[in-house]
Amino acid sequence: MPGDRPTLYVVDPDEGFADRVRDALARSGTRVVNLQSGIDFLNQYAEEAFQCVFLEMILPGISGLEVQKRLQEEKHSQARVVFCVSEGGCDPEEAALAMKRGADDVLLKPISRRRILDTAFLSLEKARAAEGNKCHAADHVRRVQSLTPRELEIAKLVLSGSSRSRVGSVLALG
């Protein structure tokens, strides 16, 4: 089942580059999905855990920067973005904007097999960590929601830094 293993999308009209990424990651268990355009990616993209996308900056239809912006607007927070750009396909201002928006890296093609592996694994690890944090946050919310009104009142006092004597006096008054 695809959702059981990490997924890395390659959004690039250059099928040769997608094949290089797929070959580099073949033994890792990572599922590599190649799409030709940003529109294709946004139409197919399903939020799955541990997901990363290698984006070309210049794409048919909409740019890689626009894809990144839409991912953020759609709150796909655990999706990691790496720009893989052809020589001359990105100016320094675009690279800076991509990084400011949270891209993990901007790589200039040709990209070595080792760099593809290192970048993919680092980005997928960041996605795993973000997913783990999301699960912990949901667990904390569930626990807080299970508190009685009195327990919630005490927790607020403790978390606000109230002294033991203050908490004790509130408890005694109740």
pLDDT digits (tens, 9 = 90+) for 38-86: 999 988 876 554 478 999 999 999 999 999 998 888 766 567 889 988 8
Q: What is the pLDDT of residue 136?
A: 55
Say if residue 159's pLDDT is above 80: no
List the end-to-end C-alpha distance of the chain, in Å, as a whole number: 54
Regarding whether 79 and 111 lie in a shared domain, the answer is yes
Tell me if the pTM is above 0.75: no
> 59 is in which domain, residue-wise?
2-140
Regarding whether 135 and 101 lie in a shared domain, the answer is yes
Q: Which amino acid is at 60?
A: P
Other beta carbons within 10 angstroms of residue 6's beta carbon come to 24
Regarding whether 155 and 136 lie in a shared domain, the answer is no
Regarding whether 43 and 76 lie in a shared domain, the answer is yes
pLDDT per position as a tens digit, 106-141: 999 999 999 999 999 898 888 777 766 555 556 666
Show contacts of 133-139: CB within 8 Å, 24+ apart: 134/77, 134/78
Regarding whether 148 and 98 lie in a shared domain, the answer is no
Show contacts of 92-96: CB within 8 Å, 24+ apart: 94/57, 94/65
Regarding whether 151 and 101 lie in a shared domain, the answer is no
Q: Mean pLDDT, the chain, as a whole number?
A: 82
Regarding whether 121 and 44 lie in a shared domain, the answer is yes
Regarding whether 165 and 109 lie in a shared domain, the answer is no
Regarding whether 91 and 50 lie in a shared domain, the answer is yes
Regarding whether 86 and 6 lie in a shared domain, the answer is yes
Q: Render 46-98 in DSSP notation, one character per residue.
A: ---SSEEEEE-SS-SSS-HHHHHHHHHHTT-TT-EEEEEE-TTS--HHHHHHH
Regarding whether 127 and 161 lie in a shared domain, the answer is no
Regarding whether 83 and 123 lie in a shared domain, the answer is yes
CATH value at residue 80 = 3.40.50.2300
* Furthest C-alpha separation in the chain: 73
Confidence of residue 1 (pLDDT cuts 50, 70, 90): very low
C-alpha 171/C-alpha 174 separation (Å) is 5
Say if residue 10's pLDDT is above 90: yes
Q: What is the pLDDT of residue 75?
A: 67
Say if residue 99's pLDDT is above 90: yes
- Domains in the chain, number: 2
Which pair of structure tokens corresponds to residue 144? 């807080």
